[in-house]
Amino acid sequence: MSRIILLTGATGTIGKLLLEFLNEKSTTEELTVRIIVRNVEKARENVKNFEKLKFEFVEGDLNDLDSLKDPQEVFNQIERLFILTIDSPDKSDIETRLAELALEHSPSLEQIVKFSALGASEDCETNSVFRWQGEAEKSLIKLLKNHNKKEKNHLVSLVLIRPNLFMQNLLWNDELESIKGGFLIRPDSNPTSLFHISHVDARDIAELISIVLLEKDHKKHGNQTYNITGPMVLTYEEIATMLSNHSGKEITYQAVPESYYADILKQAQLPNEFIWTMLKLYQTYKWNPMTRLIFSDFQIITGKPQRSFEQFLSDYQFSLKLQ
Ligand SMILES: NC(=O)c1ccc[n+]([C@@H]2O[C@H](COP(=O)([O-])OP(=O)(O)OC[C@H]3O[C@@H](n4cnc5c(N)ncnc54)[C@H](OP(=O)(O)O)[C@@H]3O)[C@@H](O)[C@H]2O)c1
CA distance 181 to 249: 10
pLDDT at 67: 87
What CA–CA distances, in Å, run from 153 to 83, 110, 111, 144?
A: 23, 11, 14, 13
Report how far residue 182's alpha carbon sits from residue 251's, in angstroms, rounded to the nearest whole number.
4
Per-residue pLDDT at 284: 96
- Domain spanning 168-197+231-292+308-321 has what CATH number? 3.90.25.10
What ligand 1 atom has the least distance to the C-alpha of 10?
A: 43
Assigned CATH for 3-165+200-228: 3.40.50.720
Q: Are 60 and 38 in contact (CB under 8 A)?
A: yes
Q: 86, 228, 234, 291: which to mutate for ligand 1, most atoms within 8 A of CB? A: 86
Task: Read off the pLDDT of each residue in 21-40 and give the average, rounded to a whole number.
Answer: 92
Computed over every residue of the chain, the mean pLDDT equals: 96
149/322 Cα distance (integer angstroms):
54
Domain ranges of the chain: 3-165+200-228, 168-197+231-292+308-321
pLDDT at 28 over 80: no
d(Cα 245, Cα 76) in Å, to the nearest integer? 52
Q: Is 86 in the pocket of ligand 1 (CB under 6 A)?
A: yes
What is the rounded average pLDDT of the residues 76-100?
97
Q: For 249-270, how does the pLDDT look when each residue is reduced to its tens digit (9 = 90+)?
A: 999 999 999 999 999 999 999 9
Ligand 1 proximity of 7 Cβ (cutoff 6 Å): no
pLDDT digits (tens, 9 = 90+) for 172-200: 999 999 999 999 999 999 999 999 999 99
281 lines ligand 1 (CB under 6 A): no
State whether the beta carbon of 61 lies less than 6 angstroms from ligand 1. Answer: yes
Cβ(15) to ligand 1 under 6 A?
A: yes
Is residue 1 pLDDT above 70, yes or no?
Answer: no
By CB atoms closer than 10 A (0-12, 13-18, 19+), residue 37 is: buried
